[in-house]
Structure formats: structure tokens, C-alpha cells
Amino acid sequence: MTTATARAHPNIALVKYWGKRDEELMLPAAGSLSLTLDAYATTTTVSLDPSATEDRFVLGGAAATPGQTVQVTRFLDLVRARAGSAARADSSAHAVVDSRNEAPTGAGLASSASGFAALAVAAAAAYGLDLDRTELSRLARRGSGSATRSLVAGLGIWHAGDDDASSFAEPIEGPEMSMVIVTVDPGQKKVSSREGMRRTAATSPYYSGWVDSTARSLEEMSAACRAGDFTRVGEITESNALRMHAAIEACEPPIRYLRSTSVAVFDAVEQLRTRGIEAYATADAGPNVVVISRPAEAEAVAEHLADHGDVRIVGAGPGAHLIPTEESA
């Protein structure tokens, strides 16, 4: 196949990935666990063009920036190297990559996770590689750490692993849950995750505490998931997120992703709990907050939080997968 199209969804981590122990191989300092969503998909078509002299990257119908194109070319180089060693025809060809995000720009969800997960699946197929989910998860990891988990449907655990072969995501059973995404600020984040992680590892006095406690939280979270214990899953989610932000805020110079409007959502979630509605908050490297709840209570949670920003209820979605190329038009 010389053209292939894939679709992937972003994921939200309940135990966060924040820090690498190997930047080249993109091995994380600790494992993490997330829910792949049923919204905000990325659809990506990779078409080989043996006559082209460089890769082209079209994002949302327009040429991507040179920086974005370099990232895509680096990723395709990994795929070409594998296709070359598998002696595939066209293994050295350049490609046109056409990618579309369904997430509104700036909502903090047009994530690199869905982008690199879709690119991994489409590029592997276009270059004729027959990779299973584990291998695709490892490949996606090389583009962006969180993309590792978007190969998995619903709840997925990314094992930190010891090396390239053992650092991948796989499904894990867990309680049913909904996520209420509260967009308090649609602006772009000021410090990228990649840069924020580097600074945290280099300057935060709490970094080692963060890494050690995350490894423990992941064990507890896995047990809570297997037991279907929604309450414990929620409690660990919220404390893990606040620990990550505490480690980040202790950087030099400091980074603060949470704004007063974000903290107000954490307060509102606490208030919901005092009223007997179980909801727990988390936030990634930006001001927006994601609240987990039991599916039957998601509407009530969304209503309670609507004053704080745009709210949207999402649930568990599929892992990254190939789709017929015609559908992508």
C-alpha cells in the first residue's frame, strides 16, 4: 500500500507522564495511565511520492510550519529506516502527510497524542510495515510520549519499560467513567510539555519525589482499576495531577499552567463531592480542567461547572486504527 489513512483520538491521563529518562528513545521516567476519548479525533493520510525531494505536511488544509514539518520528517525517517531494513519497495520515498484535527484550535486537546498515533498507524501501513498494536504503540512513542497510549481503546497503561521494546501501552480494565472537559481558557499554552518536562527534571527540587510517587500511584491506580473502584480511581487521579503541578510550579524559573479560573474548577469539584456527587479533577500542561465522574452523573457535573467555561462530556473511545482512504475525503 502506498497510501493509507488512520484515525486516532486524544487521551487524558489519570496518572500523568511528566519527565523522560531517555529523550532520544522517548522513554518516560515513570509509567502512566489514561482514557482514550471518543471525541476530537485526528485523521491523517500518508501518501508516498517517489518523485518528491522532501516530505510535505498539510495540517488542517494548509501547509504546516517548518518546525512541524521537521518533526514529521524525523518521525517518517524512523518508519523509512524500518521499512528499509525490511527491504520494502519505496522504503526511501518521501511522503505527503495530510492531517486534520476535529478539536477546536487552542482547546488544549488538538494534542500531539492523537496526531502521532494517527501518523504512526498511517505511515506504517503506507510504507508496507505490518506492525501489531504493541509495535505501533512503541512507534507512536517516538513522536510524542502521550501518543503511546492513543493506540489503546479506553483505559490504557503505558509501562515505563526498561528499553525501547518494553515501553508501550496496553489496555486495562476499569470502572465506567465520563469526562467533563472544562475549557476555562482557549489560548495556547506558554511552555510546551517537552520544554516544561526538561525544566522540571533539571530544576525542580520535587522532581525525584514526583517520579517516585508516580510509580507508586500507578501501582495503586492499576489495582483500583482492576477492582472497578471508581472512588479510588478518582482520588488518585486528583492527587496525582496536583503533585505534577506542584513539581512544575517549583521550577526555576517557575511555570504555572493552572490559572485562578482553573483552581476555581477544582474548588467547584470539591463542592460537588460535599453534595454527594463524586467528581474528581485533573489538568494537563495548560489551564483547562478535566473532571471525571460516573456516567449517570456527568450531566449534573457539567451543569454545575458550566459557569466556569465551555463544558463538554466525553467518554471512552477507540484506539488508533486504519480507515479506508476514501472516507477521509
Of 151, 169, 255, 285, which lies in the binding site for ligand DP6, with binding defined by CB under 6 A? 285
Beta carbon nearer to ligand DP6, 192 or 231: 192
**Beta strands per DSSP E along 141-177:** 155-158, 169-171
Minimal distance, residue 12 CB to ligand DP6, in Å: 7
Q: Say if residues 32 and 13 touch (Cβ distance below 8 Å).
A: yes
Q: Which of 194, 232, 312, 321 binds ligand DP6 (CB under 6 A)?
A: 194
Q: If binding is defined by CB under 6 A, does position 168 make contact with ligand DP6?
A: no
**Hey, what's the cell of 263?**
483552581
Window 20-39: residues binding ligand DP6 (CB under 6 A): 32
Query: Of 18 and 230, which has the nearer Cβ to ligand DP6?
Result: 18
User: How many other CB atoms are found less than 10 A from the CB of residue 76?
Assistant: 24
16 binds ligand DP6 (CB under 6 A): yes
Q: Which stretch binds ligand DP6 (CB under 6 A): 42-50, 118-126, 144-152, 164-172?
A: 144-152
284 lies in the site for ligand DP6, by CB under 6 A: yes
Whole-Å CA distances, 229 to 49, 175, 214, 225, 226: 50, 6, 19, 6, 8
**In contact, 268 and 282? CB cutoff 8 Å:** no
- Cβ proximity to ligand DP6: between 39 and 300 the closer is 39
Does the footprint of ligand DP6 cover residue 193 (CB under 6 A)?
yes
Q: How far is the CB of 303 from ligand DP6 (least distance, A)?
A: 27
| Interface region with ligand DP6, contact rule CB under 6 A, candidates 62-70, 118-126, 139-147, 206-214 | 139-147
Query: Beta strands of 104-210 (E only): which ranges?
Result: 155-158, 169-171, 178-183
Q: Shortest distance, CB of residue 209 to ligand DP6, whole angstroms?
A: 17
217 scored as a contact of ligand DP6 (CB under 6 A): no
Using alpha carbons, select from 179, 208, 235 the residue that is nearest to residue 18. Answer: 208
Q: Does 146 bind ligand DP6 (CB under 6 A)?
A: yes
**In sequence order, what are the beta bridge partners of 98?**
45, 58
* Cα→Cα distances 312→248, 287, 305, Å: 27, 16, 10
Query: Judged by CB under 6 A, does residue 47 bind ligand DP6?
Result: no
Q: Which of 5, 45, 69, 144 lies at the binding interface for ligand DP6 (CB under 6 A)? A: 144
Contact 324, 138 (CB under 8 A): no
Q: Quick one: residue 328, left, alpha or beta (phi over 0 = left, psi -120 to 50 = alpha)?
A: alpha
Residues that bind ligand DP6 (CB under 6 A): 13, 16-18, 32, 112, 144-146, 193-194, 197, 284-285
